[in-house]
Structure 1
């Protein structure tokens, strides 16, 4: 059967290393070759990939892997779909450049790695990022899909006897450099001049990771003759079933399945989730938060709070997982957020109508406070009733007759967006086809997101003054500050931002940027929708891309990891929960799949497990936001 593909070509590079030339027998792996073989078969027969390169075991030397990346870049043509999968040992090496907030570079271990002479050092993320950047920015790949089924843990983990299947870790400890050895020389040469940090471009990027940076990824013996990585097995199972349609569906299935078969690890995903798998059809997903369960007093617990822009009075509609639109909900309960239990990460809601919520359901935003809505007028109103009806269905927009913040002027040729003084606020939109109304709603919703983002603050935070910011030019000179919150820069000039944590403990930090009329974009960690820890006294230096327009830089710091799904709703990074109860125990039961046991709170004898979990304190849910405008003169 011939299918029509939106891509000129579908290319894949699949790397699986089970046999390592310089590792002892107990450190060899069993699953990577099977991961590669099964994925290659699935991509060929079910998804019509026409160019697949595989490197397995002895084929996957350091040189061969880097050469394969280079060949893939050279072969890729504009619009191609590119998939890269790595299955094997992962590790971390000390960061020598100061570009990693936690002091470590992630690495992949090639077949000839860990040799005594250091001729084949680990392949660092600093070396891979330029390839990803070239694929998207230079070769203009239509989509870039990354799958890393490896571990970034510093310790070796062994599974206990209570695991659902026998398991082996895919982690290696960092190499131990010896002064004067060729290992030191090779490692330094491999990462001597890291390229600028790659920023995922547009909506052309999706990545699945087997676990968090401080955790181990596992491979599982599923039958006597079948071994797979936990992430690869979950992905293969979900894709082979044919029931998942979008990357968001795939992620929900993968995170639940990994929690069932390998609860020791928490996979992550980042990128644009609302596209069809290996396709270009956008499936817009309304903002939602997970339902965590009910309190004894009958309130619904939701997995989102102030950091996501939720507040008292917001109303959400409960729905089954995978619901895309409020019109699909049916008779789901309507809930309203109450002051009790509202924190940075969670909130509680009273039931307005319908029955209570169950863990695993979704709560879709239905109405929000007037202060969060963008007031919009349409001119002429009488001739644009269908557009007004679409605008009225968007929770962040309020259609008004007067005192509008934005007036939408519709003519036969184009749609214009004017501010309250009649001046252009957003670029005009040509009326090319019937989809122009949806594009109008999306642009206005994006403007509403932006304005809410700029207002987000926590003036009562105990963390006030815990971030030190410095803005400099390419030569290291400080920018001229016209006010404490505004710096001046020439159009096209390089601007460097240095952030230092002056608090006594690690703070989870994220940097977002925003230009006029656009949605917020997460700048660091790049394209992730999450945050990373910044140790006290360690500066984080970022270089803003040169541009012509002024930009708002907003930094967030918190005592816990911060999710930014509401602010960066078109690009997300998600991690699977530590316990399944938060996201889907009920969903698994509905599918007839037994719920997994919770991960052990302490490792069993002989097992090492490293997980970053700060001890509980009074200020464990505190956060601040610091904002500065870089104004580029004309």
Structure 2
């Protein structure tokens, strides 16, 4: 196996830190074992040069290689046209558009993904929309990574984009996508702390946490949270995101068992879990606030403080730390200082637990109960009516049955993991059940805004036309497709997420290329007040017995600010799960009110639109 990286740097239109970004990323990746480091910078980073280097990288990549594609430079959004800005962008003509389109990036990454599943895309750029945006930070200390471009021959780009876009193509699964900021937002470069020159704020923070001497075996989702916090400490309004299988360890396919890390902020002198209601928290639930310590080896865990949910303020959970814990010298600074990068909350015991009935031989049952006692969201019951799952282990046979007595999954592999493996599966299934029951809130957490939500299905076995899905009573079949359209009719920006709980119990953040939410512009804006997701395929997983019907749930959650909901998704991935297309790499949710910048009056308000359907294993019209 070879670790390969293509580092693209287009230092154009006033940027001065791109070459430094590429050099720093090359140093970091080299220290992490990358032996094939390719640079496409300066005069080589033309439209043709970038295209040629992407093709060459694909030709040289072998199955099992680890591959990184990195870009630093300007990004642009002009209406529906999204593109990176090569160094020869100014040479565009009415028939020769030199921007590197998002659709071209999608096609190149899809081709790489056919060679290897271990693929990471990192973009340190932003959109400019063709307009000048003055940086408003400390007398020019910050340089915006967007630019007033010369006359853009948009039609030639749109024609090429239309030729490349193929709506029927399968979505690109299993690609980790790290982006510097969100749509309509900004990425910045700043003065280096030591020495002269500038560097991209995102690249600098990412490199800090990727350096081997500061590395923990933590997944991308954890690292990106630390990067976000580091950028926040610099007072930069920039929101990095991690899409795709962000539960992976960096540059590998390994997904370690991780607790469900909840966001943690301080609001008006109080600790809070933004969006706590969505994560299943309620008053009197117990959590642990974890503050990584900068003084510990490799920046490891420093302080853990028990806390209780004291109040729900709209959709956010306000915490009351244990007085004895906060009075300790180790926690003294946390009451006033900015939270350290990576601060988060862990559920310890919550009210919204799922009950498990254990039907097993004594020794195995005791081992299961011991594991179960440590689960914050699971509890044992002896009442079959209230159990969401029954664990049945007898004479070497193991099953986990749902309320209808059907096995959730084929356990031929999981059973070898023993009690711990079964409990891990139960936790995943319980998360699915909890998310499946997510409902439209009432009271102060309810979003009061004008919007339209349309959930449609296309069933190829019948007419093949799109029709609206009813909230209940629908039957979906293997091979059907659904899509979601959301329209903002209010005067403020909104954000939406599509969350699917499949018939296997797995939870998927369908809009996973935009884990912090798909931004909808206010009513009357020229673009993006309405968005439609790519079609999502309903399929019957190979590890689910072909007995049905089984529940399939589609949630559309709409909120009034951006918030990372990737923690809701199951860790386990499948090549068939709905992993959104990379054409949205440059369509992240930018410039929202962010959960790490929570302030008074910015509590999370939301609505949930749901379809509860029955899924069947065969296409419509075909008998099993």
**2: distance between equivalents of 1:545 and 1:94?**
28
Report the CA distance between 1:529 and its aligned residue.
Answer: 5.3
Asked if 1:152 is matched to 2:140, the reply is: no
Q: 2:112 corresponds to which residue? A: 135
Shift, 1:545, TM fit: 2.3
**Correspondence for 1:263:** 236
Q: 1:177-576 to 2 correspondence within 5 Å?
A: 184-196=155-167, 199=171, 201=173, 204-222=174-192, 225-240=196-211, 242-245=213-216, 246=218, 247-261=220-234, 263-293=236-266, 300-321=271-292, 332-338=304-310, 340-344=311-315, 346-351=316-321, 354-356=324-326, 358=335, 360=339, 361-369=343-351, 371-403=352-384, 404-410=387-393, 415-420=398-403, 422-430=405-413, 435-458=417-440, 460=442, 461=446, 462=448, 466-473=452-459, 477-479=465-467, 484-493=471-480, 495-501=481-487, 503-505=489-491, 506-526=493-513, 528=515, 530-533=517-520, 538=530, 540-545=532-537, 547-548=539-540, 551-568=552-569, 570=571
**Cα distance, 1:173–1:476 mapped onto 2, change above 3 Å:** farther
Q: In the TM superposition, what is the alpha-carbon distance from 1:13 to its structure 2 partner?
A: 0.8
Structure 1: where are the runs of 5+ without partners? 1-7, 21-26, 96-104, 584-597, 599-614
**Quick one: distance in 2 between partners of 1:329 and 1:30?**
36
Task: Identify the residue that residue 65 of structure 2 maps to in structure 1.
Answer: 80
Between the two proteins, the alignment pairs up a number of residues equal to 558
Is the alpha carbon distance of 1:386 and 1:111 closer, same or farther for their aligned partners in structure 2, counting shifts above 3 Å?
same
State how far apart, in whole Å, the 1-side matches of 2:302 and 2:92 are: 64
> Relative to structure 1, is the Cα distance of residues 484 and 407 closer, same or farther in structure 2, using a 3 angstrom cutoff?
closer
Q: Deviations over 1:370-403 (max 9, x none)?
A: x432323141233343333222211121123442
State the SS of the aligned residue for 1:417. strand
Q: Report the 3-state secondary structure (helix = DSSP H, G, I; strand = E; otherwise coil) of the residue aligned with 2:227.
A: helix
**Closer, same or farther: CA 159–541 of 1 in aligned 2, 3 Å:** closer
The structure-2 alpha-carbon separation of the partners of 1:93 and 1:68, relative to structure 1 and needing over 3 Å to count, comes to same
SS at 1:524's partner residue? coil
Is the partner of 1:42 in helix, strand or coil?
A: helix
**Contact 2:453/2:484 (8 A) holds in 1:** no
Counterpart Cα distance in 2 of 1:33 and 1:264: 23
Q: Distance in 2 between matches of 1:160 and 1:566?
A: 33
How far apart are residue 72 of structure 1 and its match?
Answer: 2.3
Specify the SS of the correspondent of 1:242. helix
Q: 1:630 to 1:140 in 2, by over 3 A?
A: farther
What is the aligned counterpart of 1:624 among 591, 605, 608?
608
Answer yes or no: is 1:15 the counterpart of 2:8: yes
The 1:140–1:330 alpha-carbon spacing in structure 2 relative to 1, beyond 3 Å, is closer
1:506-547 C-alpha deviation (Å, 9 max, x unpaired): 432211222123321011253625343266573525312253
C-alpha separation in 2, matches of 1:251 and 1:576:
17
State the TM-score, normalizing by the size of structure 1.
0.77
- Write out per-residue CA displacement over residues 171-220 of structure 1, whole angstroms, 9 at most, x where no aligned residue: 13467556xxxx5235412443413477453xx44332222222222222
Of 89, 96, 107, 2:83 maps to 107
> Cα 1:40–1:473, aligned 2, differ >3 Å: closer, same or farther?
same
2:54 aligned with 1:69: yes
Partner of 1:34: 20
Distance 1:486 1:510, change over 3 A: farther
Deviation, structure 1 residue 80? 1.9
Cα distance in 2 between the residues matched to 1:334 and 1:262: 29
Shift of 1:170: 1.8
Q: Contact between 1:471 and 1:498, CA under 8 Å: does it hold in 2?
A: no
RMSD of Structure 2 on Structure 1 (CA): 3.8
SS at match of 1:528: coil
